Structure 1
Amino acid sequence: MVDKIYSFLGLATKAGKLLSGEDACERALKSEKACLIIVSEEASENTKKKFSDSCAYKGVDIRFFGRKELLGRYIGKEMRVVIAILERGFAGHLMEMIDGMYLQNGGE
């Protein structure tokens, strides 16, 4: 399931519906273009809190998923800590996959 999620992120990149990097994702949140924010599980607590708070304020979904090396590799970049999904269909499907993976693993 994890590989499917990473592959789907690559598909979103090719479709032009994904931004990466903290600054770009912050701008997407502020301009209300982001439908979903994905923060690497390896991100600092400060980064996790900053994006959690911003997403809560803007009413944008957030998920904590993946390793920053793999997030970058699958979207054709170097390591990435934060990704913004810009389209509701992609965002919904990613949330289903991420949530389903955690349910399968007993909430790990």
Structure 2
Amino acid sequence: MNKQKALNLLGLAMRAGKLVTGEEMTVQKIRTQEVKLALVAENAGKNTRKKVKDKSAFYQVPFVDCFHSSELSQAIGRQRLVVGVLDSGFAKKIKELISS
């Protein structure tokens, strides 16, 4: 139930323009420390997951990989494996929903 609420919130963040999507754009925004939460599909390739996870760890950005690519894509309305949340409020609430 909370997982679905987190996905709904992700869709809301997308409509509000508070997301960056795609591996390269997300990694770029992690480097500039604009991303508050990085999400990677659990079925993404090993290299993609490692790259985003390592960048997130280095720049101390929370990292989540509990969603399937179809769930992420449906939530944001685009076919993506990597999503970065730019707003701290959205990021905090999504982390709370996932961890509970």
**Same-fold status (TM-score > 0.5):** yes
Of residues 86-95 and 61-70 in structure 1, the stretch that sits farther from structure 2 once superposed is 61-70
Secondary structure, counterpart of 1:83 in structure 2: strand
Q: Give a deviation string over 1:46-97, Cα, whole Å, max 9, x none.
A: 222111110111111111121112211211112x111000011100111111
The answer to whether residue 59 in structure 2 is matched with residue 58 in structure 1 is: yes
Q: TM-score, normalised by structure 1?
A: 0.85
Secondary structure, counterpart of 2:94 in structure 1: helix
Give the RMSD, CA atoms, in angstroms. Answer: 1.1
For structure 2, the residue ranges without an aligned partner over 5 or more in a row are none
Task: Give the share of equivalent positions with the same residue, in percent.
Answer: 34
Q: Match of 2:45, as an amino acid?
A: S
Secondary structure, counterpart of 1:69 in structure 2: helix
Q: 1:4-43 to 2 correspondence within 5 Å?
A: 4-43=5-44
Structure 2 counterpart of 1:75: 76
How far apart in 2 are the matches of 1:64 and 1:99?
A: 12
Runs of 4+ more than 6 Å apart: none
Secondary structure, counterpart of 2:58 in structure 1: helix
- Distance apart, 1:40 and its partner CA: 0.8
Q: TM-score, normalised by structure 2?
A: 0.92
Secondary structure, counterpart of 2:63 in structure 1: strand
* Higher relative contact order, structure no. (Cα contacts within 8 Å, ≥ 6 residues apart): 2
For structure 1, the residue ranges without an aligned partner over 5 or more in a row are 101-108
Structure 2 counterpart of 1:99: 99
